[in-house]
Structure 1
């Protein structure tokens, strides 16, 4: 087996099989005197094991570079030495710029300005799944890439665009969660426990209890875009949980008006009242607001799954609370317990009558207040030391303390 060459590589001669860039056997003849003198002066030399291709051989063979002119061996040696002297300080995790130089089915060849080649595999070109390489990158594109693996045996850096998009997507959803905004997501799949939704390129879990659609209709949601609220964002644990119900509630809260009649479905009955689902919003129908008559057993009047009409008494939009009433819809006290269906059928008319009655009471109260004010004897107020001139002066005969109190 041939030995290592201690000096600079010799140029190939006709018929010689020596080649530092093809991996062929290198002549074991001693180097010429000039080369020896150069070596003695401390000039750097390239040493290669016989039959072992160098990094440059592998790069040239992989990317189809032209054969090396070995008659210029000293020039290539000096060029390689110059490259060795350049420090690029690349490390895994670094984000560096690069230019797309070549595309093939397995990935893209990227020029990052270093002696080492750099490759971005197809699976790393986008956070989206199942994309085509050509749909993301084109020749000459200038992009940012993250180093996910330092040089391998072939002298290649492994790059990724997906990792950059992934970290930025988490930062984005964290910001959206802090702002409590409603976002959009596409349903990827649904099962008995809930669904998977794509949000900002990330996979989020949508619990079944937070889907504002009846269970038998949930399979139809696949492929649909839903409004969502972010309820848990944890990049460290890679947990992203969203709610369709809260988003629907927020939307509904902006359209609900106090004093309006809404249609909903009784979801649950508690000792203190019933919870009614109003298009994704949960409203409380308190036991005291079911009927004018005393209600002993709520389930004797309202049952889960029952469709009802109710009057919106009050709503706290910041807390997502809605207070409902069927009592104000009764034509006669106790109608909810004797004929609830009739109460719901006449709900709109009853609500209109309620508003008219409230307005009459307001006008009557205002009229009484005006009559009281107009009947007051101003002279009597002056005698009591309570009168004040329009210009703020103290009334005649008023003491200084009384005048000061009146001015206050």
Structure 2
């Protein structure tokens, strides 16, 4: 009969730490020693400590002041800490670090407004403790049936797990929760040691004829080990001690598997193995033997690998949460890779890209991080491997794509697969950058300018690449340049006299007069920096690197095909804009002005235009001439509705003693027409110019 013992059988770190805490107190303290509840879920250990004077209490008031009280690995609620302090007891906190992390997590998320959901047994001390850190307001679910009782909700929820539940239950419950809650944040807080123990026991159970699970009757993780193994091996037994072993027919049982819960002490496991070995003196035991006697303590210790800070080792990913990746190294404690030590990629999605069971190579940074875990870095191993890439890139002057991970004095730090590259502020861009934080967590392509292998110092530049790309682009643009060619460009800057546009490594100027067919006071009325525009080359000088661009389009010209829009004889509504001695300028539409000669305003003779019209007045007028080429439209008001000057004006002049002689009128009539007739044949722009000069 072959006996196979699971390497992970027995105390986990949290339980071992709690037991060690009590043992240390027994060796060094004279004050009373209390444990809040049974120190672990194992009657043999509790009885042993009781025999040595350690008292188990279920209420803080049972303890005497100044005594030492040990909080077990399961953890407690905040009010228990307060009672301990108020009682004057000396706290010895042996809460498992995995459990302590859950306490901090639910406290933080509940304060952020999340409703906490705990997947686990509501009567388990660990779950009771966790619930206390979110004001005892958590939903506690232990099955899919519990989830079905929830109504569908938009409530913001955060899901955590009791550290000892099975991965199968965790997945089933979370699948059900997704159907009930739209806004869900989950953290897989199953202890990695628990996962490893369960996976290992399951694999053994698949390949043996009988499976023995050793642990306390009240141990949750022991019961789960039993449930898992029972699915694969019908002859699975749960026992507390060797005295509970069932009868074994070694003729029928060829292989026996043994595993134990996290609260099972090594001497209990050792007794079971010894008893099984006595039944099979010629059998084989898959653990270390000395002179025919089994030394379980050494066997258990020697089953682990030896690691030291600075070692590069390989392990398998056994779990992760939003901030950490857990790795099985074959060591007595699991390895933890903080997310920032897993990758520098700011877009890294841990749920999509980290695969359970995947092998990773990591650097051991710290064998004990203060919580019993091994701190690891994958990023630093990647950096060592990527150094050769950086050396080749430097030698061949090839660019590398990196992520900016930090802004430092004088520049930024970019990471290429873990290799840190310093990019000076002057080399981050080809333009002045006021705030380098705009590049943080962004991709940047750099060329390696300096490399010091001895000091592992790398200096890169994005500017040289940008400038080279711009130069190549500008050459292509100049080579294809011709008058009338249309380019797509980007507005780079605005000035009082126009807008500068990048048309492909070449900056051209759109003069303000070329921005619009109507008058604009500043280019910002038409364009803004960053606009994508289509422009036409009006003229260019390659030697002087100057390009004049046009932006306004012919079809946008209000005078475009004016003869088709306005025809002689049409009556249109116009607005009086301004006066001149020879007539009134009127607006037909924005950008299209016409002239009503003074002789075309009224059937009566006018001394001046103001006698009949006012600025802003809207009147009907008849088109009598359209000259689109010269931008001239002549109109007549009197042919539609002649406007006669008020008679009161002439009468008032007579009363004032002014002379209104026919001869003076005739003189005006003789003097005026020649000039006015000439003005009828000039353009609107000429008239504006003359009016301005006068």
Common fold: TM-score over 0.5? no
Please tell me whether Structure 1 or Structure 2 has the larger radius of gyration of its CA atoms.
2
TM-score by length of 2: 0.27
What is the TM-score of this pair, normalised by structure 1? 0.43
